[in-house]
Structures are given as C-alpha cells and as structure tokens.
Amino acid sequence: MKLRKQSRNVATKLKYRKVREALQVSPRDKDDRSAYITHFLQNAESSGNPRLKEKAVSYLRDAPDLILSVAERGHQYVVPITWDVPFPPVPKSKFTFIDLFAGIGGFRLAFQKLGGRCVFSSEWDTFAKITYEMNFGEVPFGDIRLIDEQEIPDHEILLAGFPCQPFSIAGVSKKNSLGRSHGFLDMTQGTLFFDIARILRARKPAAFVLENVKNLKSHDKGKTFEIILKTLEELGYKVFNKILDSQYYVPQHRERIFLVGFLDHTVEFEFPEPSRTPQHFSSIMEANVDSKYTLTDHLWLYLQRYAEKHKAKGNGFGYGLVDTDGISRTLSARYHKDGSEILIPQKSCNPRRLTPRECARLQGYPETFKIPVSDTQAYRQFGNSVTTTLIEELGRCVIRSLRQ
C-alpha cells in the first residue's frame, strides 16, 4: 500500500515536470509569458480576469488538453502545485488580495495563511521573482508602471510595500497656469505610489495595507506623507496609520509605518497592540555555521577602525555586536556588503554574519521557505522584506474589521 502511494507521488511529480517543460515557463521571460500562465493556472477555477485568461490561453495554444482540463477541473487536479512549492494557493479561500511590489512574498505568506487567495502579483526584480516562484508556484508580473490596471482582477484587499519617492509639483504648477483643475492624484504622477493610486481608483478594493520606512512621515518636511494621505482620502478611503515595531514578533528592532484604508467609512479599526514577550536572538541562530560567515581579519579590523573614527566625531555609526539574550538592530538590504549592523560574537575568533536562513527566521519566515538564490541576493531580499509574523497579526485585524 505504501509502495503504491509512493509510485503515485513520483508519477504526479513527473507529470508536473513534463507540463512545465512543454510550456517552457521561466521566471526570466521578458514578455511576462510565465506570469500570465502561472496566474491563469492558479486562478482558472475562480472568476479570474478575462484579459489575463485570454493571453494565458494564447500562450498555452500548444497544450489544448491542459486548458480544457484546467477549465473543467481546476489547476490542482491537472498541474499539482502542491508537489512543487511549499505554499500553494488556498483551495477554498475566504477573501482575495493582490500583492504589489511583492518582493519575495512576505505579505502573501501572511495573508495566504489567514485564508486569502492571491489573484495578482507584481515584482520587477529578477532574483526576487525566482524566489517568489519557487515558493508560491507563480511568477509575478514585472514593472507595475507598464501594467494596465484593467488587467488586474477584482480583489478585496490591496497589499503593497512601496518605495518612497519625492513628489514633483511641476505638473500641478503647469495645470494651474493653464487654468485646469487638479487633484492630489495628479501630484503623485511619476512616482510608484501613483500606480497604487490608479489601481485603487480602477478596482476599488474594500481595503488596502501599505508599508514603508518610518521616515516616510517626515520625508520632504512631511509633504510626501500629506499628499499620500490626501490622495487615498480623495479616492474614497478612510485611512489609519501607525508605526509598528517587529521586535514583539521576532528578535529584531524594525520600525515601519503602515497605512490601512477602508472604502466603508463606518468600519472601526485598531492596529495590533504588542502582546508578546520579545524573543531572544539566540532563538533564530543556527548551529554548526560554516566558517565562510566569519569575518576576515582585514574586514574586522576595518570595521573596528571605522567605528572608532566615527565615535571620535560623536557619531553613532559602526558595527553592531548582537546580545544573543536580546534583540538585534534592523536587518537592511545592504547587509550583503559587510554585515556590520548585525554581527554575532564568537569565542576565540572574529564575529560572524548571519546566514541566509537566520535572516529568514529574523523576518518571521518558516523553515520550509526556500532560498534558491546566492547569499548576496538572499541578504538583499530578506533585508527588503516585511516581517511576516507582524503582517499576519496586522492582517488578522484588517480582516476582522472587514467582517464586522
């Protein structure tokens, strides 16, 4: 009986591999072919989006039997994603969401765990897309600026950790000189926030969750944040914002600002309150770490001299030796350069960097999350990511408010 089950498992995996080879799906495709196909396969049994389906089917013209089977029976019965990725889509979802500026899927991981189904994802970085596809079985679409908002399926919640950019008032001044009226949406043109705004305007999801660095509030003397809030309100949303710290969910001091909005202005919402005792940093450490993560004598001497120089000038810049009974500094995307912000002391030798797996743990990622890229890319990806455990708690509050 056990042997027969193993045989079926092997056959299923082989079938999936053959399908993938036939479709020639690759996360490096420049024409988003793989994004259309994987999005269609993951959402064919739900409503999806007509435009997305039309393009995906055109790419699948060499596999008509697959199209028919997916349409009739659902992708899980034809292309068994559960055998290929650790985090397949939820079979019976409670809500839908989209994942913009998706990175490696920190938002998706949290909201999928809460019962949500991702119906669209977008990420421009090639290496992040490789990690995303390896874990979720879906290749994100590329540059959000090139995506027609009409191709994005309807959804209940929009999720985005967007980059912070200054807003130019040149276009507004020109409109004023021509006697034309303008709104706050016009003031965001040329920025990546504008793409979030145009999608909100076109698709009108019931809620959104946006994340950014805490300095967004003071950026450009507060003008940037004011324009963002006014734009979201102009689009019809009731907006809440708060700075949250990851240290209550993982042993890392990481402050980020979150904006949560609802179309229904009667919705009552409260951000999660710190309710956990911070973990000790030792809880995320690996045993028997390779010596390649230990700093060389040259780098360690450089970091010490650099710290002494800035200390003499009254600055706080320098390396950070973590107390394994406490919490660490913020993991950043520059960690791959020298690891200076989070160094683990070692007996009888120089300190060492974190391993990629330790970075994953420091951001709340489970052990089953795959890391298919180089250490350099992994450091960048986890440094740019959200803390998934914090996002899960925040998501629980958002969903509770939507369902009240």
Helix, strand, coil percentages, rounded to 5, for the chain? 50, 15, 40
Catalytic residues: 164
Say if CB 333 and CB 384 are below 8 A apart.
Answer: yes
pLDDT in single tens digits along all 404 residues of the chain: 444 444 445 555 555 555 555 545 444 444 577 888 888 888 866 655 777 777 877 777 766 666 556 656 565 555 666 667 899 998 889 999 999 999 999 999 999 999 999 999 999 999 999 999 999 999 999 999 889 998 899 999 999 998 766 554 433 443 444 444 445 566 666 588 989 999 999 999 999 999 999 988 888 788 889 999 999 999 999 999 999 999 999 999 999 999 999 999 999 999 999 877 778 999 999 999 999 999 999 999 999 998 888 777 777 667 899 999 999 999 999 999 999 999 999 999 999 999 999 999 999 999 999 999 999 999 999 999 999 999 999 999 999 999 98
pTM above 0.85, yes or no: yes
Count of residues making up the chain? 404
- Return the amino acid letter for 89: P
Q: Which tokens go with 315?
A: 């600055």
Q: What is the pLDDT of residue 219?
A: 81
Residues sharing a CB contact under 8 Å with residue 182, sequence separation 6 or more, in sequence order: 171, 172, 175, 176
Relative to beta strand 95-100, strand 157-161 is parallel
Q: What is the pLDDT of residue 110?
A: 98
User: Hey, which residues does 122 pair with through a beta bridge?
Assistant: 141
Q: What is the pLDDT of residue 271?
A: 97
CA distance 135 to 372: 9
